[in-house]
């Protein structure tokens, strides 16, 4: 378990309560015993203070990292093999076996009456490159601003969700199909891929661990996200619209999302919203 990190460091983290294991309901499991066969288990590392600049002075969010036990076990096996082969320089390969999701928490999330939460799917082109082909970057930025303004809330960042779950390479292909006339969902279907293959079950487990099944205002226009989180055990979700970043480069994309079921008014994506 966690073989590629010094076992003595791992033991210190467990003893300090900084390395935990939870089940799908967010409940604690024994961090030193393997989960039961077939049991969904997430390893939790943190919290780690992260000062994040939102407007003026940085606000300190608490970062929690989550990875499925099965993926971590695969990374451990690879680490052992690399160590036996005398190739520790290839330890960078370990990250390819793990999808690490993050929770960035401001304030006392469990004590808050009805905090804002954004469950955000990773988007390299939007979140990092600042692409205006989607509204992902502005949605993430606005989520932090809205949470900062209230003094409490959380951003759950899902790192395995690129391109609604199809990955960055396939996403690049769909962009070229979109430039040839297809919309974002037609492009997925042309490649034989689902409209949306994202799994939000781990996001539900993360929120159950951090807050329990208490009221949450979810910053999302996507009814699938709401339904998936409810199926994961969150029964007190309130939809909070989160339309931002509308422009000429993504108006057709947003219109397709609205046709697929996203709660977006036509007036919110017309030319007057830029």
Q: Which residues are catalytic?
A: 196, 198
Q: What are phi and psi of 87, to 5 degrees?
A: -125, 55
Backbone phi and psi for residue 116, each to the nearest 5 degrees, phi listed first = -80, 135
CB 26 within 8 A of CB 212: yes
Q: 126 Cβ partners below 8 Å, 6+ apart?
A: 133, 134, 135, 136, 137, 140
CB 18 within 8 A of CB 10: no
The residue whose two tokens read 């339904």 is 227
């Amino acid at each position: 378990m966690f073989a590629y990190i010094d076992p003595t460091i791992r033991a210190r983290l467990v003893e300090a309560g900084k390395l935990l294991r939870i089940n799908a309901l967010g409940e604690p499991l024994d961090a030193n015993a393997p989960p039961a066969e077939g049991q969904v288990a997430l390893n939790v590392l943190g919290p780690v203070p992260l000062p994040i600049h939102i407007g003026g002075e940085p606000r300190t969010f608490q970062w929690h990292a989550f990875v499925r036990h099965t993926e971590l076990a695969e990374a451990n096996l690879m680490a052992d093999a690399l160590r036996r082969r005398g190739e520790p320089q290839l330890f960078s390969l370990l990250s390819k076996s793990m999808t690490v999701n993050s929770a960035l928490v401001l304030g006392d999330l469990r004590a808050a009456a009805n905090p804002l939460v954004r469950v955000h799917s990773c988007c390299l082109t939007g979140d990092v490159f600042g692409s205006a082909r989607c509204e992902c970057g502005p949605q993430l930025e606005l989520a932090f601003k809205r949470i900062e303004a209230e003094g409490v809330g959380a951003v759950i960042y899902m790192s395995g969700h690129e391109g609604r779950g199809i990955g960055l390479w396939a996403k690049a292909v769909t962009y070229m199909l979109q430039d040839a006339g297809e919309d974002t969902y037609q492009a997925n279907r042309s490649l034989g891929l689902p409209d949306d293959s994202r799994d939000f079950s781990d996001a539900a487990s993360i929120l159950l661990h951090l807050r329990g099944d208490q009221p949450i205002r979810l910053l999302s226009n996507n009814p699938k996200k709401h339904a998936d989180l409810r199926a994961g055990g969150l029964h007190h979700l309130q939809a909070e619209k989160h339309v931002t970043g509308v422009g000429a480069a993504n108006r057709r994309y947003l219109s397709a999302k609205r046709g697929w079921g996203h709660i977006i008014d036509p007036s919110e994506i017309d030319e007057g919203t830029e």
